[in-house]
């Protein structure tokens, strides 16, 4: 699963990494060209020692109330055959209703050869989504690919599709901040799967990357219908820490806003993926990077460290950049995810 949601055909896994590959990867990272160090001076042991932030006292009440309100919405899914063709999947164009009268667009993949025995909601990065990922290592699975509100198939005025503006939409209003609506879009996506496939109750998972990874960490603790989750390069972790780290990602926009409006921390405290991850009770798989210029690794690892339930860590050499070892690491990660979601 990659951050730009490439929709390539299934390919055989690449050969395993050699020592020379690792040497090349280290040399490539050393010559990254950024005006700051995307490791931020942390090695793996430092990252595993990052303490997650203390949650607000009313965090559970805040999110539980939002969840209850979202569950009162009938998603009323509508779908039609897509023009896309795939040997393993029937591809459907999908729209459903979310909170705030938002219409969420996306895709639904249904197995061609037999019934679905599990469901998976798949979140995208901040680049949006041009189509479904057909390479995910799951079988007999109904796959729902929503576009979170304001992005791609869910574009809506006046929400900007530019990540640097999308991440600021209503950031000054705790109860209206855009990230909360995106969490509700995810919850209503689960409702769609259970509306269409009611026998999948207890067998629905979530997988999200970057932006979608952070949204997953915010959403999973409050939705007991999600039985396990995978977060890849999760963002929104430990806002107070990440606001002090240089970045070329959307956090830079939040940093700029925060400099002029420090009171925004009153909102961000409720949308901290490392705070909500402390409430996760289901098995989790997290892929976190040692080097990442867009989502600082200390924030990613803060999310992983916060999870107190059964969890697995896959350490990536880097995130949000191309590098020598990327294809080999992607293949190894997909192999782990095949086993992780097979237990749903």
Position 188 in a domain: yes
d(C-alpha 66, C-alpha 59), whole Å: 11
Based on the structure, what is the number of domains in the chain? 1
CB 311 within 8 A of CB 199: no
pLDDT at position 32: 76
114-164 tens-digit pLDDT: 999 999 999 999 999 999 999 999 999 999 999 999 999 999 999 999 999
CB 78 within 8 A of CB 94: yes
Position 266 in a domain: yes
Residue 158: asked if its preceding bond is cis (omega within 30°), the reply is yes
What is the 3-state secondary structure of 223-256?
Answer: CCCEEEEEEECCCCCCHHHHCCCCCCCCHHHHHH
Average pLDDT over residues 293-301: 98
pLDDT at position 23: 41
3-state SS class at 120: strand
Residue 2 has pLDDT above 90, yes or no: no
Position 36 in a domain: no
d(C-alpha 202, C-alpha 219), whole Å: 16
pLDDT at position 30: 54
Q: Is the dihedral of CA 280, 283, 289, 295 positive or negative?
A: negative
Residue 49 has pLDDT above 80, yes or no: yes
Query: How wide is the angle at C-alpha 17 spanned by C-alphas 13 and 23, nearest 5°?
Result: 145
**Structural tokens at position 152:** 């791609």
Position 198 in a domain: yes
Position 29 in a domain: no
How, if at all, do strands 284-289 and 78-81 pair? Answer: unpaired
Binning the chain into helix, strand and coil, the percentages to the nearest 5 are 40, 15, 45
d(C-alpha 235, C-alpha 16), whole Å: 29
210-256 tens-digit pLDDT: 999 999 999 999 999 999 999 999 999 999 999 999 999 999 999 99
Task: Please compute, for residue 128, the number of CA atoms within 13 A of its CA located in the half-sphere on the CB side.
Answer: 17
Position 26 in a domain: no
Domain that holds residue 69: 43-342
The CATH number for 287's domain is 3.40.50.1820
How, if at all, do strands 118-123 and 89-97 pair? Answer: unpaired
319-328 tens-digit pLDDT: 999 999 999 9
Position 112 in a domain: yes
CB 181 within 8 A of CB 147: no
Position 17 in a domain: no
Lowest mean pLDDT among 7-21, 56-70, 75-89, 221-235: 7-21
pLDDT at position 262: 97
């Amino acid at each position: 699963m990659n951050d730009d949601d490439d929709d390539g055909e299934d390919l055989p896994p690449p050969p395993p990494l050699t020592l020379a590959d690792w040497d090349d990867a280290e040399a490539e990272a050393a010559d990254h060209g950024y005006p700051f160090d995307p490791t931020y001076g942390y090695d793996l042991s430092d990252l595993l020692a990052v303490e997650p932030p203390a949650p607000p006292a009313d965090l559970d009440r805040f999110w539980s109330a939002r969840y209850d309100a979202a569950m009162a919405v009938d998603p009323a899914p509508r779908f039609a055959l897509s023009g896309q063709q795939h040997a393993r999947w029937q591809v459907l164009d999908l729209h459903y209703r979310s909170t705030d009268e938002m219409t969420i667009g996306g895709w639904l993949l249904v197995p061609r050869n037999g019934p679905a025995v599990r469901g998976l909601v798949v979140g995208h990065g901040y680049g949006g989504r041009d189509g479904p990922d057909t390479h995910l290592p799951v079988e007999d699975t109904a796959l729902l690919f929503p576009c979170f509100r304001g992005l791609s198939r869910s574009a809506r005025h006046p929400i900007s599709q530019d990540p640097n503006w999308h991440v600021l939409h209503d950031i000054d209003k705790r109860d209206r901040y855009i990230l909360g609506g995106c969490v509700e879009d995810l919850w209503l996506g689960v409702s769609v799967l259970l509306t269409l496939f009611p026998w999948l109750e207890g067998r629905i998972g979530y997988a999200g990357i970057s932006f979608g990874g952070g949204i997953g960490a915010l959403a999973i603790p409050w939705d007991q219908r999600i039985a396990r989750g995978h977060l890849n390069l999760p963002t929104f972790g430990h806002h107070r820490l990440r606001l002090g780290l240089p970045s070329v990602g959307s956090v830079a926009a939040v940093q700029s806003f925060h400099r002029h409006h420090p009171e925004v921390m009153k909102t961000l405290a409720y949308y901290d993926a490392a705070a909500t991850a402390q409430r996760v009770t289901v098995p989790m798989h997290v892929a976190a990077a040692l080097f990442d210029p867009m989502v600082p690794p200390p924030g990613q690892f803060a999310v992983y460290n916060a999870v107190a339930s059964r969890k697995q860590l896959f350490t990536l050499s880097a995130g949000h950049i191309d590098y020598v070892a990327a294809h080999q690491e992607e293949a190894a990660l997909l192999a782990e995810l095949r086993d992780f979601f097979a237990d749903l």
